[in-house]
Amino acid sequence: MSVMDAVQALDAQYVLQTYRRAPIVLSRGCGSWLFDADDRAYLDFLSGIGVASLGHAHPRLAQALGDQAQTLLHTSNLFFHPLQGRLAARLAALSGLPRAFFCNSGTEAVEACLKLARRYWSTAGRPRPGLVALEHGFHGRTCGSLALTFHESYRAPFEPLLSDVTFISPGDPAAVAAAMTEATAAIVLEPIQGEGGVRPLTPAFAGAVAQACQRTGALLIADDVQCGLGRTGPPVDFSALGRRPDLVAVGKARGAGVPVGAALSSQAVADAISPGDHGSTYGGNLLACRAALVFLDELIDGGVLDHVRDVGARLSLALQAWPARHRAIVDVRGAGLMQGIELAFDAAPVVEAARARGLLVNATAQRVVRLLPPLTISHAEIDEGLMRLEAAILDVSEGRTA
């Protein structure tokens, strides 16, 4: 029995079948490359859906995690430890939001933001039930974040979820004023919608949100889980909104592969919170904080953020020429190292054709090929990946075999 057959057999027998996995077994990585059980190399333009921000087997991260494992991994939040405050201070300096609640994932960070927003209005003595979210938005798979996720296929099997959620079109700034009232607790949005097809919000829409929040007092919750922390160029993607949010959810890239999430909060929201209002057993443990501190050191002090701006401009410029060259490409959109290529047909065959050529990407919103390479990817690797991807698109559109 081959390694692939053995792995698939165990998975089929014992693992809950919630994933449609690609038929490869990945066994190791180095930088922007992954290797399967047969040692075939794949250029990684997905980075674990935006998680492996420093690439694979990053030497400094590996050293830090090994050192921490030999010292202390976890104590619970019943005690202080020396890393959580340091990490919160770094995030405050980066975001301008002075408080952090630590959890383990992006969806948990969104859940925390929802609870903190509701608690804010409860403490004020004016409970507000309403939430506004965007069409095409995706915020996670726990019940609160799922209620804010637009496509019914995600929500319907698990309803009833949170009530009083109103969805509006991100292409209609006028809809913001109509949807947001003094019964609205918060509006929740991604500055660039990821799962929804890599759709950046327009300045006009962001301006309408800022005006509606000012008029109604509703809180602004930015979901920066996929698009934040350097992925698009700036250290926080919510800067494109033109208004500092009251709450921000971060995750994915922040642990560079270690599960880390956080809800960042304004002081006004933090002042409404009491001990016991929320909690997490694992959140902010020493291993997670050590990983996140290494990531931030590399991002800000190690030159990764400047590198993203440079290499991201190269990726974006190259992709912008593709719609004129290929009738199969409807649109290219995104920012920095978060790019989406909308096709005139289902993107799944292109994902398979790219994999056959040794390139890992994925499909989202059915017709969009999503690119989320490691933030450390080189110029030469960008060029190599684009060459393989363009060939894969031609494989499918022209009916040829790689």
Q: What is the domain-level CATH number for residue 357?
A: 3.90.1150.10
- Whether the link from the prior residue into 160 is cis, omega within 30° of 0, is yes
Model confidence band, residue 378 (pLDDT cutoffs 50, 70, 90): very high
Adjacency order of strands within the sheet including 247-250: 99-103, 261-265, 247-250, 219-223, 184-189, 130-134, 165-168
| Per-residue pLDDT tens over the stretch 240-253 | 888 899 999 999 99
In this structure, are 120 and 200 located in the same domain?
yes
Contact 206, 238 (CB under 8 A): no
Q: Are the C-beta atoms of residues 347 and 25 closer than 8 Å to each other?
A: no
pLDDT over threshold 70, residue 402: no
Distance CA 179, CA 131 (A): 9
Beta bridge pairs of residue 131: 165, 186
pLDDT, residue 151, reads 93
390 and 272 belong to one structural domain = no
The confidence score (pLDDT) of residue 64 equals 98
Give the whole-number percent of the chain exceeding pLDDT 90: 95
31 part of a folded domain = yes
Question: Per the domain annotation, does 294 fall within a domain?
Answer: yes
Taking 3-state DSSP, the helix, strand and coil percentages for the chain, each rounded to the nearest 5, stand at 40, 20, 40
How confident is the model over 66-86, as pLDDT tens digits?
A: 999 999 999 999 999 999 999
Same-domain status, 195 and 330: no
What is residue 1's predicted lDDT score, i.e. its pLDDT? 79
**Across residues 334-345, what is the average pLDDT?**
98
Domain limits for position 312 = 3-58+303-397
Domain boundary residue, one of 263, 298, 333: 298
What is the structure's pLDDT at 145? 96
- The stretch 76-99 carries a mean pLDDT of 97
Do 28 and 93 lie in a common domain? no
User: Which whole number is the average pLDDT over 83-107?
Assistant: 97
- Indicate the residue among 274, 298, 322 that finishes a domain: 298
Domain count across the chain: 2
Query: Within a domain: residue 402?
Result: no
pLDDT-derived band at 238, boundaries 50, 70, 90: confident
Kindly state whether residues 248 and 127 are assigned to the same domain: yes
Task: From 278, 298, 318, give the residue that closes a domain.
Answer: 298
Q: What angle do CA 304, 309, 310 make, to 5 degrees?
A: 95
In a domain, 375, yes or no: yes
Same domain, 83 and 227: yes
In a domain, 63, yes or no: no
Same domain, residue pair 114 and 234? yes
Q: Quick check: is 115 in a domain?
A: yes
**Same domain? 113 vs 18:** no
Q: Give yes or no: residues 209 and 127 share one domain.
A: yes
Question: Helices (DSSP H) in 203-345: which residue ranges?
Answer: 203-216, 267-270, 286-296, 304-320, 322-325
Rounded distance between C-alpha atoms, residue 71 and residue 64, angstroms: 11
- The per-residue pLDDT for range 173-208, each reduced to its tens digit, is 999 999 999 999 999 999 999 999 999 999 999 999
**Of the candidates 131, 127, 115, 120, the residue with the CA atom closest to the CA atom of residue 164:** 131
Co-location of 247 and 111 in the same domain = yes
Residues 2-48: tens digit of each pLDDT? 888 999 999 999 999 999 999 999 999 999 999 999 999 999 999 99
Residue 239, pLDDT above cutoff 90: no
